[in-house]
Structure 1
Amino acid sequence: MDLELRGKKALVTGGTRGVGRGIVLALAHAGVDVVTCYQRESDYVTSLERELKEIGGDHHVLRADLSQPQEIAALLERVKEIHKKIDLLVNNAGAISHIPYADLPLEEWTRILATNVTGAHLVIQHALPLLGEGSSVISIGSKAVEAGIPLRSHYTATKAALVGLSRSLAKEFGPQGIRFNVVALGVIETENFHALPEDQRTLMTQRYSAKTALGRLGQPDEVAGAVLWLASDLSRYVTGNTIGVDGGIS
């Protein structure tokens, strides 16, 4: 099915690895011109640049630390120079750590919130002049908001905040035709998952597959499918929602 996305402009934060990379590549294959960003130089950056060049289109992979407000402002200025507008904004960049709540340092709480919540807020705020009728803003959330996960209270709090932010912005900017939604993920197989020792990987696969209705873990391109739908006119009456891409996990 042609979703009629060719020629549209997108910004996907944190798009060189994992779920973000899957989204960037799916959009590029659909004909969307994509700007994405990364925090640190790595082989993932150069390999993504190579893949995007092979696909074709006007794509840009830029460095920006989204925990730093001035770098967010500079990133959006660069997007404005490149594309003049944004049809799709995907807040994917995020940070996570696993720490017992009683031992959680304030510095770590602040770091996770700075990237996952304040970073997303500032990206949206700076992007507002580039958004217009028909634009779609998607924040990548987590099923952890409903389930709760030990050692990740700070991370889970940030993903819950994205739900509230998106619902409020959906109401505020609905009259302008700008939509805001959250895609809440279950357990997705990414590079970090495959980098685990084999015994841990096997244990996680068995444990979390058993919790899902589909009996398996998710793939980045399956998350990308939901993003493509939310980017298209097929979802033009969908806003203020949290859409689970989780295999029916419980």
Structure 2
Amino acid sequence: MTGRRTASDDPAPTRTDHHEKGITMDVDLTGKRVLVTGGTRGIGRGIVLALARAGAKVVTCYRSDSEAVEGLVKELAAIGGDHHVLKADVSDPEAVARLVDETEARLGALDVLVNNAGVISHVPFAELPLDEWRRVIDTNLTAPFLVIQKALPLLREGSSIITVGSRAAVVGIPLRAHYTAAKAGLIGLTRSLMKELGPKGIRVNLVAPGVIETEEFEKASPEELERVQTRYRGLTGMGRLGRPDEVAGAVLFLASDLSAYVTGETLHVDGGI
């Protein structure tokens, strides 16, 4: 496992303003110690940056080297604080063990655990190979099991476990039976762990995004992007796609004491789809 450490000076102010988006986040997580899996792209990146701006000390991980990794390191350094970006494939039990051990070495313990890492593919069910089924299930469902189980000794009373699921889990999507099954499994995992870990003072919740406009949309042609946006404008109550920072807002709520009596819940962040 390799690590990239950012600036370790005092955290930046905890108020995060998104004037251009009309969103202001005032959640103060100063001193909270957080592990976020899959934090260099898309929703995960939005979550990591929001947590850092709120004053948390953040460890996150990535599977493959990319410009996105270097970009996140630079953004976290600009925010300031004690943050670390580590390489780890969370579908690999040995890599998970190393990730949690490294997190303990750097942060000592955890107040918040965010399971975000995931993969998706689009394959007709009749043609879905077993290897692809296992890849998607392992990354989206088995990995949170591995990470939570390994990280349990680092969590204390008052800690919060948050898993990023999907609105797809309760509606189903053609060509994504493996993905939908994995995300549906996270709901059951959340409900069971809520009851098992509740007596220890640990809360367990799920955030279920709808269609979120991440950098993946930049790969689409203008025509394809307009087609997708037009479709979801008609399907959502808000009349638009979501943004990573809007999912991050839900995570900040569940990470904070504002949600001290919220557990076992699935919080849909889907614009009313």
What TM-score results when the alignment is normalised by the length of structure 1? 0.98
Deviating 4+ runs (over 4 angstroms): none
Structure 1 Cα separation of the partners of residues 119 and 95 of structure 2: 17
2:205 matched residue in structure 1: 181
Q: For 1:97, what is the secondary structure of its paired residue? A: coil
Q: For 1:135, what is the secondary structure of its paired residue? A: strand
Structure 2 Cα separation of the partners of residues 6 and 240 of structure 1: 25
2:127 matched residue in structure 1: 103
The one-letter code of the counterpart of 2:69 is: V
Structure 1 Cα separation of the partners of residues 177 and 217 of structure 2: 21
State how 1:79-94 maps to structure 2 within 5 Å: 79-94=103-118
The one-letter code of the counterpart of 1:196 is: A
Q: For 1:87, what is the secondary structure of its paired residue? A: strand
Of the candidates 189, 200, 211, which is equivalent to residue 224 of structure 2? 200
Kindly indicate whether residue 165 of structure 2 is the aligned counterpart of residue 141 of structure 1.
yes
Report how far residue 107 of structure 1 moved.
0.5
Deviations 1:6-60 (A, max 9, x none): 0111000000000000000000000001000000000000010001001000000
Identity score, percent:
61
Give unmatched runs, 5+ long, in structure 2: 1-24
The one-letter code of the counterpart of 1:105 is: P
Structure 2 Cα separation of the partners of residues 201 and 147 of structure 1: 23
Of the candidates 37, 43, 55, which is equivalent to residue 61 of structure 2? 37
Report how far residue 113 of structure 1 moved.
0.9
Structure 1 Cα separation of the partners of residues 159 and 175 of structure 2: 36
Report how far residue 2 of structure 1 moved.
4.2
The one-letter code of the counterpart of 2:235 is: K
What TM-score results when the alignment is normalised by the length of structure 2? 0.90
CA RMSD in angstroms comes to 0.8
The one-letter code of the counterpart of 2:265 is: N
Give unmatched runs, 5+ long, in structure 1: none
Q: For 2:149, what is the secondary structure of its paired residue? A: helix
Of the candidates 87, 102, 117, which is equivalent to residue 78 of structure 1? 102
1:5 matched residue in structure 2: 29
1:242 matched residue in structure 2: 266
Kindly indicate whether residue 82 of structure 2 is the aligned counterpart of residue 49 of structure 1.
no
Structure 2 Cα separation of the partners of residues 128 and 221 of structure 1: 27
Q: For 2:156, what is the secondary structure of its paired residue? A: coil
Report how far residue 4 of structure 1 moved.
3.1
Structure 2 Cα separation of the partners of residues 51 and 74 of structure 1: 25
Indicate how the Cα distance of structure 1 residues 202 and 76 shifts in structure 2: closer, same or farther if over 3 A, else same: same
Structure 1 Cα separation of the partners of residues 91 and 28 of structure 2: 34
Report how far residue 66 of structure 1 moved.
1.2
Higher relative contact order (CA 8 A, sep 6+): 1
Structure 2 Cα separation of the partners of residues 194 and 10 of structure 1: 29
Structure 2 Cα separation of the partners of residues 124 and 11 of structure 1: 11
Q: How many residues align structurally?
A: 249
The one-letter code of the counterpart of 1:206 is: T
Q: For 1:25, what is the secondary structure of its paired residue? A: helix
1:121 matched residue in structure 2: 145
The one-letter code of the counterpart of 1:156 is: T
Report how far residue 112 of structure 1 moved.
0.6
Kindly indicate whether residue 56 of structure 2 is the aligned counterpart of residue 27 of structure 1.
no
